[in-house]
Amino acid sequence: MDVNRSNLLGDLAVDVAFDAPIGAMTWFGIGGRATMLVKPQTEDALVTLMQRCHQSGMTVRVLGGGANLLVDDSGIDGVVIRLDHETFTRLRFNRQGPVDRVRVMGGTDLFKLVNETARHGLDGVGQLAGIPGTLGGALRMNAGGAYGDTGQVVDSVSMVALNGERLDLSRDQLQFDYRYSNLPNGIVLSAVLGLEPGDPVAIRSKVREIFAYKSASQPMADNSAGCAFRNPTVNGERVPAGRLIDEAGLKGFTIGGATVSDRHANFISTTPQATARDVMNVMAEIQARVQDHHGIALQPEVVTWSDDPGVGTP
């Protein structure tokens, strides 16, 4: 990286680590390092950092909870931003009128979001129980499952664009679909969620039910990024990718330290000895066999970071 670090960071309220082991921070627990990991302490520091990176042509990536991320073994250049300072992990409930709105910062952990809203007797995000990651990542990919998705409760989103411009997007400007949002490139600062007041006991019971369902059907104790592939649409209907992978005979398929889970075939589990390339090779084999067996091209849900232009995900 050919940029003066003091010019980029010198007067900013940030924490910075060089040659940071970000692969170990993902749910896979494997992969390479980043040239620079920066943790802004304030919104102003984040905005200025984004402006400077844009002006210098610096590549910027955002590391949320690392839940659906694979970092190439060789590592990546550029700046990786992580919003784990208290500034970016707060929830604020509206104080006037009935409490039915909450502003959630982009770095907020989904587990915290689900439990805090349930504790306040607010229903609407229980569908995210058991889904790892942060709100920013969940909005970007419209995370969800059989019980619903993130986008269904979003009133507005505030962002910082790649050039450092602040953006405020209202509900009528937002579009959400299966694993899709129309959010522009940039970083989610916060979102206002519209929730339904209810009985805290009933809401917590519903959350436990959803979590129990996922625990029984998914290898939640494994090192895994969650679903590796999106569920494809076949003849107008969404088909579970896990079923297609299972029918192609791939449960238990292993390369190096990466294995297709015996519990749920759309999960790839890793051992500490695994490499990111092991996971990539397992995913490539899954795609090839499902294509041969079903004639269906699976699209990855896992995002891959790599400086190899033939590998990385934008």
Q: DSSP letters of 135-195?
A: HHHHHHHT-EETTEESGGGEEEEEEEETTS-EEEEEGGG--EETTEE-PPSEEEEEEEEE-
86 is catalytic: no
101 is catalytic: no
Select which of 82, 227, 230, 289 is catalytic.
227
Q: According to the model, what pLDDT value does residue 1 have? A: 47
243 is catalytic: no
Select which of 140, 277, 289, 301 is catalytic.
301
Select which of 52, 103, 179, 263 is catalytic.
179
pLDDT along the chain (314 residues), means of 10: 69 96 96 97 97 94 94 96 97 78 96 94 92 94 90 97 97 95 96 94 92 80 88 94 98 97 95 96 98 97 92 63
Q: Which domains are present in the chain?
A: 5-81 (3.30.43.10), 89-202 (3.30.465.10), 219-305 (3.90.78.10)
Q: According to the model, what pLDDT value does residue 97 have? A: 66
